[in-house]
Structure 1
Amino acid sequence: MSGSESSSESSSNSGSGGIPFLKSPDQAAFRDHLETRLSHWIRRWDGQEQLIAGIIGIPLSKSSISLSGASMTPAAVRAAFKSFTTYSLEYGVDLQHMAVRDLGDIQMHVTDIGECHSRIETCLTKLYEKQPSIVPIVIGGDHSISRPSVKAFSARYPGKKVGIIHFDAHHDVRNFEDGGVTNGTPFRGILESGAALGNNIAQIGIRGFMNSKPYHDYVLSKGVHVFTSRDVRISGMDAILAQAIAAVGDGTDAIYVSFDVDVIDQAYAPGCPAIGTGGLNPWDALDALYLLGALPQVRGIDFVCIDPTVDVRNVTSRLAVQFMLSFLAGIASRPD
């Protein structure tokens, strides 16, 4: 045996008790040294590094009015990281040098939904104090997590106004009397708390036969700008998004994006509790998220309402990763 072969085998046996080819799962997996996977790029945050963006999981689904395994979504999304690289030839960007890290999950209370929401608001508020420039990428969880997330986001800009662009099939302004705070109430909570004003909120992708007239009347009475899925189909996403940005950016200092994945047609996103036909095409969302990422006023985003337990081959969680990457590609294009 040559010296180089002996050295190579000795190295490969390091830490494996001298047993050949036995390695840790990460070491044993196939690696191409010319390719960077998300699973190796998005490392755990060390608690000190100043970040451009950070991933925060919120594993909450007890507040869903329909049976949901959305609490498993952060783990499913992270598992999908290994399927994607950091390079996009479409956008001409390689993300691997961006300071984007995984901050972990916000620990939820086992039974108390109110306590869960309080922890979300407290955690994010403290994060913004420690990382004043970070763009949070929040992975839910059901949509109830958006109310405390937006409240913390709004408090980040004291004395100023924030706007929200909300992608969803539903208005999410159900009343509190018939079930309390749920994944159907986040935007009623946001409006009634004053975290954002109605005329600084735009909802994109709202679909017919998935909402009631009183709730549609409610958002209109608050000045919310509503763009249906049919509006997008007829006018195109670019035109609709331009109107939405103009509306929510008028007099505001920062914009938050809330993306409920059930806005996508069920043919492309089967792993959502509230699937339906007539939703957006993934290309519409990919293009919109890139444009929003490129907009300096956009300072936070959440992705919610995926249920990995009813998904098909993790396709919906993978779709969420592609949405996240398109958003990050947009951030990478921002002027320094």
Structure 2
Amino acid sequence: MANLEHLYPAGKAGFKDSEVTKFHECIKEWNGEAARGYGILGAPLSKPSISHSGAAQAPAAIRQAFTSYTTYAIESGLDLKDIAIHDFGDVAMHVTDLALSHDRIEETFYEVYKRNPDMLPIILGGDHSISCPSIKAFAKAKGSVGVIQFDAHHDLRNLEDGGPSNGTPFRGLLESGAIKGEHLVQIGIRSFSNSDEYRQYGKEKGVTIYTMKDVRERKITDILQESIAALKDKVDCLYISVDMDVMDQAFAPGCPAIGPGGMDSATLLEGIRYLGAQPIVKGMDIVEIDPTIDFRNMTSRVAAHVVMNYIAGKEE
């Protein structure tokens, strides 16, 4: 009989270095039992986007990007190869009913959080509309929530002109009472990407706004330290929402709303690692990547590094 030792299941026959652990090897499919450590949940929804977007494909692209990187962080000497990461899969979206899709995200995530209270969720979107139901579920499960939002845009658009969209998640959260304005910090807001009306709305609600000018002139860790100091005595936990269009288009060509003058990847990753190290930070999402317009998966690869740096911050 012919030797079949070199025949592997489809997609499993790549090069394997016996002395290297790739990050995706740490991720195990959730088995239904109470999970500790970290949990990945996908929210593949992009139909509410006000611009063309294939962000529904991003959860799969980010998962694929994990296969390109190892578990070893040489700068700190940390190896993540023994951490527990559970992949809970993706929420199935309705084909035409966007409100129902948002309801499914909220209901599913809440049930996951309730069954796994010691798990730290990492949400892979999807467009930014998914953050509204995601944070609603998080608040119901965890108590009062503060949010640190990395974004070029306020995402405080009114709900009358187009209903819930990727431009309205934080308007929806504020108007529903899921979070308070004083518990929302926005970092990286850019010129020529917003209107003064929405800046004024945010200020009236008590939202703290750091523009890209602030990011350029100050250390990102100083801004985050200041933000956490302002929030930590007001809320039970913090949630990070990373809209990848906070980055300059040179670093994130796969965002639907690219633009110049944004954050570089080193600054974002430094900030995420710092936030990961804060015990009060209990969850995060990453949104607004369209793999169909990306270049060499650059944006999904940065998102993978966001996840790895967040976990490294927690584990250091």
Give the shorter-chain TM-score range. Answer: over 0.9
Q: What is the SS of the residue equivalent to 1:239?
A: helix
Regions of 4+ moved over 6 Å: none
8 Å Cα contact 2:26/2:84 also seen in 1: no
- Candidates 28, 47, 67, aligned match of 1:43: 28
- Candidates 206, 214, 233, aligned match of 1:223: 206
After superposition, where does 1:214-293 map in structure 2 within 5 Å? 214-293=197-276
Deviation at 1:23, TM superposition (A): 3.0
8 Å Cα contact 2:144/2:179 also seen in 1: yes
8 Å Cα contact 1:202/1:248 also seen in 2: no
Within 1, Cα distance between the matches of 2:55 and 2:12?
31
Q: What is the SS of the residue equivalent to 2:206?
A: coil
Change (3 A) 1:67 1:27: closer
Match of 1:128 in 2: 113
Match of 1:17 in 2: none
| Residue 52 of structure 2 corresponds to residue 71 of structure 1 | no
Match of 2:82 in 1: 97
Q: What is the SS of the residue equivalent to 2:222?
A: helix
Deviation at 1:63, TM superposition (A): 0.3
Within 2, Cα distance between the matches of 1:23 and 1:321?
26
Match of 1:311 in 2: 294
Q: What is the SS of the residue equivalent to 1:262?
A: helix
8 Å Cα contact 1:225/1:247 also seen in 2: no
Within 2, Cα distance between the matches of 1:42 and 1:172?
32
Match of 1:205 in 2: 188
Q: What is the SS of the residue equivalent to 2:238?
A: strand
Match of 2:130 in 1: 145
Within 1, Cα distance between the matches of 2:11 and 2:289?
27
Within 2, Cα distance between the matches of 1:245 and 1:53?
22
Within 1, Cα distance between the matches of 2:85 and 2:19?
20
| Residue 47 of structure 2 corresponds to residue 62 of structure 1 | yes
Letter in 2 for 1:72: Q
Q: Structure 2: any 5+ residue segments left out of the alignment? A: none
Letter in 2 for 1:264: M
8 Å Cα contact 1:206/1:226 also seen in 2: yes
Match of 1:156 in 2: 141
Q: Structure 1: any 5+ residue segments left out of the alignment? A: 1-8, 15-20
| Residue 61 of structure 2 corresponds to residue 80 of structure 1 | no
Match of 1:3 in 2: none
Match of 1:189 in 2: 172
Within 2, Cα distance between the matches of 1:292 and 1:47?
29
Deviation at 1:49, TM superposition (A): 5.0
Within 2, Cα distance between the matches of 1:42 and 1:205?
31
Deviation at 1:27, TM superposition (A): 4.5
8 Å Cα contact 2:242/2:287 also seen in 1: yes
8 Å Cα contact 2:26/2:83 also seen in 1: no
Which deviations, in whole Å up to 9, do the C-alpha atoms of 1:45-93 show, x marking residues without a partner?
A: 1121522111111110000000000000011111111101111111321
8 Å Cα contact 1:200/1:249 also seen in 2: no
8 Å Cα contact 1:199/1:247 also seen in 2: no
| Residue 307 of structure 2 corresponds to residue 331 of structure 1 | no
Q: What is the SS of the residue equivalent to 1:309?
A: coil
8 Å Cα contact 1:44/1:101 also seen in 2: yes
Letter in 2 for 1:185: T
8 Å Cα contact 1:147/1:190 also seen in 2: yes
Which deviations, in whole Å up to 9, do the C-alpha atoms of 1:258-286 show, x marking residues without a partner?
A: 00000001011000000111101111111
Within 2, Cα distance between the matches of 1:145 and 1:211?
20
Which deviations, in whole Å up to 9, do the C-alpha atoms of 1:81-133 show, x marking residues without a partner?
A: 11011111113211121111211101111111100010011011111111001
